Amino acid sequence: MGNICEAFPAFACRIRSLEVRIPMRHFEPFVHLPKSSFPWLEKLVLRFRDQHPFHVSEKLKSKYPHGIEIFSGSHQLKHVEFDEIGGDSLLKTILFPRDAVTTLMVGATSHLGTQFTGLYFDALRSMNKLVDCTIQFPGKQSDISSHADQPINLPFLQSLTLSASEEVDTGYDVAFFRCLYAPCLKYLWLSVGASENHGELVRQLASFRERSTVSLSSLTLSHFIVRPISGEDLISLVAVFPSISILRTTLTSGVLDTSPLMRALVYNPDHPGPLLPNLEELRLESTTVNGKDVWNLVRSYWCSNNSRLRMVDILFFTGGTDGGGPYAELEHESALHGIDLTIDLYVYDY
């Protein structure tokens, strides 16, 4: 490692993309490099692998109380990606210019401290050129309402992925959308299963939509582990963004019944306004699927000359319906000629 450190400065000034996948204790020799070492760096990925990351982080904190400056001269930096390791957030430990960053990807786990969520909120306020943002929030939080007092202004943000530890409630989602302004947002992936109050989440999402005048194209709802979401709440969440053309639910465990949503999505030309009039692609993972609901949904779009629906994928997990339920009505599907439509039904035990 010592030889690498000695040779590194000779070519560091030419590096545009740097990916670090080593124990953090092996990264320590590099922190002595001057902050002008990476003037052309555009992409930084940090994946530290330590058996006791908290102790390593605390050691670096004590040695560099004002932060590690090796990347603070990287003014071309646009892509930053890292996994939290404990102690202080790497957003605080590793200093880098934030004003040009367009992509941020942060991963955290449930054991991290309660200060992380507020720190993320504050950091995003200094990254107003973000286009793509992915944040996995850590575990149960202390009161984070004070961090939602000031707006998070992300005028160029197009894609946002927000998730949380699958073990606990965090309350990050309500607070985040209370202060977010992102008029260009098109793609939203939202973990909703850890929310304590789905009704309040719906209200804050609706407020965000009105405040940002956002016209979302794609909505993915995930993480139904901590507490199941009711069919009514699921419909309310989807209804916040009537402009979406792509709707997905993802499920790794837990319980999700999408039957009420499928019934609500049935296209009725006599209805004053369909739930999702621009729907083109529907991908649902569910523990309860009713074949009649699937058939009614597909047929309603097929019979409508105004329908844009072209793709329906159903991933079915056993445990929420009778054995033949998903397939009961689908023998009629072969009669739907003239529409580019596929229906995939999978049965898994988990």
pLDDT per position as a tens digit, 226-258:
567 888 889 999 999 999 999 998 876 667 788
Tell me what pLDDT residue 336 has.
56
Give the span between the Cα atoms of 170 and 193, in whole angstroms. Answer: 11
Which residues lie closer than 8 Å to 208 by C-beta, 6 or more apart? 177, 178, 180, 181, 182, 214
Rounded average pLDDT over 30-55? 81
Expressed in percent and rounded to 5, the helix, strand and coil fractions of the chain are: 30, 20, 50
pLDDT per position as a tens digit, 4-26:
666 676 788 889 999 988 887 77
Backbone Cα Rg of the chain: 23
Domain segments of the chain: what residues?
19-26+42-57+79-91+101-123+135-348
More confident residue, 74 or 166: 74
pLDDT per position as a tens digit, 289-306:
677 787 788 778 777 666
- Reported as type and span, the H/E element at residue 63 is helix 53-63
Cβ neighbours of 164 (radius 10 Å): 28
Phi, psi at 242, each rounded to 5°: -70, -10
Q: What pLDDT band is residue 338 in, cutting at 50, 70 and 90?
A: very low
Tell me what pLDDT residue 159 has.
97
Tell me what pLDDT residue 48 has.
79
Tell me what pLDDT residue 133 has.
97
Q: What is the SS3 assignment for 348?
A: strand
**Segment among 125-139, 140-154, 262-276 with least mean pLDDT:** 140-154
Mean pLDDT of the chain: 78
pLDDT per position as a tens digit, 197-227:
788 889 999 999 999 998 999 999 986 655 6
More confident residue, 280 or 219: 219
Give the span between the Cα atoms of 233 and 238, in whole angstroms. Answer: 9
In order of 191, 222, 282, 314, 317, the CA distances from 250 in angstroms are: 9, 5, 12, 10, 11
Q: What pLDDT band is residue 322 in, cutting at 50, 70 and 90?
A: very low
Reply yes or no on whether the pLDDT at 147 is more than 80: no
Tell me what pLDDT residue 89 has.
77
What are the E-state strand segments in 116-199? 132-137, 152-153, 159-164, 180-181, 187-191
Q: What is the pTM of this model?
A: 0.86
